[in-house]
Structure 1
Amino acid sequence: MTSPAPPSSCVFCQIVHSVGARTSSLALTSLEPDVYVFLATRSHIAILDHQPLVSSLSHILLIPRTHAVRLSDVPDYELPDLGPILKLLGRAICDCFAVDDYNVVQNNGPAAGQLVPHVHFHIVARPSTYLAAAAAPAPSGSVTAAAAAPATLRDRTRYSSTIFARGERTDLDPSCAEQSSKILRQYLDEHLPLWLRPKL
């Protein structure tokens, strides 16, 4: 199925258009308040999510430049870049934010939880402290530092609601996204392979 022409109201198409052909990550800046672009390749851009998940250290959105509503609609010529970019972004959040664990999530259609009708991937850094916080508390009421993965259904439910909870972040100050974007931009400018960079 071929994707329809991008609607003028598509927020991700607007961001892609604003980025244009800029290729040097270090030349990228905030396009407007709450839109922090830190990666531009020939086929994709990456931004920080303006409403990151509550338990995430860093929540990245990877967006194909070509408008497509579902992953099955993405043109074949963009797919060879997708795997290497996702892998690179996974390494970037681990190295930049000192975590080992992260999610890669991609939703297709409203019933699957897709809010913006333009294909995008969520790459979410997960600090191990959230696993410990979701585990059963020690008898003293404190959380055990060496908590194992939640074992009971109740523990797993509590853990899932913790890591996937949406809501306004209260632990971030206005400069946090700007600083995170700068850190990621510098990392990716050093590590992005030349073959992924757009030809000018």
Structure 2
Amino acid sequence: MSATTAEDHYPVDCPFCGIAQTYPSPISQISNSDDLKSCVPDVVDAEKVSPSCHLVLSAPEVLAFLDIMPMTMGHLLVTTRSHRLKIEHVPGNEASDIGFWLPILAKAVSQTVGVTDYNIVQNNGPRAAQVVPHVHFHIIPRPESVPTIQNKSWTMFGRGKRDDLDDDEAANLAAEIRRQIRKELDHRSRNQSNL
């Protein structure tokens, strides 16, 4: 019996690589707070890719955009710009950048949707529920009233009822998340200058 490979479970084209190519970073390296803010686009043409991509962050090593089949309002994906199959394939500099952006993005989502509880989930491989073969983290807000579901794994692993993202609502939601990211970056910049 031969071993199966990742290619046996995944499509040939990686949708996240397509997003990375379509929305390049405006800078190649971050060296100050203005560079950080330049990674948060003012306006995004969500229809440059199909399905639409509601981008909130386009940094040199990291991208963030709304999940096209969100579990809850504000469900955000955070991914490496370069194609990496599993977390073990992410080099240190990219891992550091993801580690920098995750708390900022989680706070921005939390502020936007008004939910203080959330999961950050990252799956590796098809048996671990990784659907897209590209490292990504889910930031999933957990509102007080959760959808009625039949599969109780929703509570732990982020699975369960999912609906298609409405493009008009998503455009407004992404714009507000981007505003909240900029607000958090300003807050952090002020706090660093006061040290």
Instruction: State the TM-score, normalizing by the size of structure 1.
Output: 0.71
Shift of 1:109: 0.5
Alignment partner, residue 70 of structure 2:
52
Distance in 2, matches of 1:12 and 1:173, equals 19
Asked whether the 8 Å contact 1:37–1:47 carries over to 2, the reply is yes
Alignment partner, residue 180 of structure 1:
173
Over the aligned positions, Cα root-mean-square deviation in angstroms equals 2.8
Distance in 2, matches of 1:17 and 1:69, equals 17
Q: Classify 1:43/1:129 alpha carbon distance in 2 versus 1 (closer, same or farther; 3 Å).
A: same
Residue 19 (structure 2) pairs with residue 15 (structure 1): yes
Alignment partner, residue 86 of structure 1:
102
Distance in 1, matches of 2:153 and 2:61, equals 38
Q: What are the ranges of 5 or more consecutive residues in structure 1 without an aligned counterpart?
A: 1-6, 135-153, 195-200
Q: What are the ranges of 5 or more consecutive residues in structure 2 without an aligned counterpart?
A: 1-10, 27-37, 190-195
Shift of 1:97: 1.1
Shift of 1:188: 1.3
Residue 83 (structure 2) pairs with residue 67 (structure 1): yes
Shift of 1:166: 3.1
Instruction: Report SS of the residue matched to 2:119.
Output: strand
User: Within 5 A, what are the aligned runs for 1:150-189?
Assistant: 157=152, 160=155, 164-169=159-164, 173-189=166-182
Shift of 1:190: 3.1
Shift of 1:179: 0.6
Shift of 1:8: 7.2
Q: Classify 1:51/1:80 alpha carbon distance in 2 versus 1 (closer, same or farther; 3 Å).
A: same
Distance in 2, matches of 1:115 and 1:157, equals 19
Q: Classify 1:101/1:112 alpha carbon distance in 2 versus 1 (closer, same or farther; 3 Å).
A: same
Shift of 1:160: 3.3
Shift of 1:78: 1.1
Deviating 4+ runs (over 3 angstroms):
156-161
Instruction: State the TM-score, normalizing by the size of structure 2.
Output: 0.72
Matched residue pairs, number?
162
Asked whether the 8 Å contact 2:64–2:79 carries over to 1, the reply is yes
User: Within 5 A, what are the aligned runs for 1:23-42?
Assistant: 23-29=38-44, 30=46, 31-32=48-49, 34-42=52-60
Distance in 2, matches of 1:95 and 1:121, equals 19
Q: Classify 1:24/1:69 alpha carbon distance in 2 versus 1 (closer, same or farther; 3 Å).
A: closer
Alignment partner, residue 139 of structure 1:
none
Instruction: Report SS of the residue matched to 1:129.
Output: coil
Shift of 1:107: 0.4
Distance in 2, matches of 1:104 and 1:61, equals 10
Alignment partner, residue 30 of structure 2:
none
Letter in 2 for 1:168: D
Distance in 2, matches of 1:104 and 1:158, equals 15
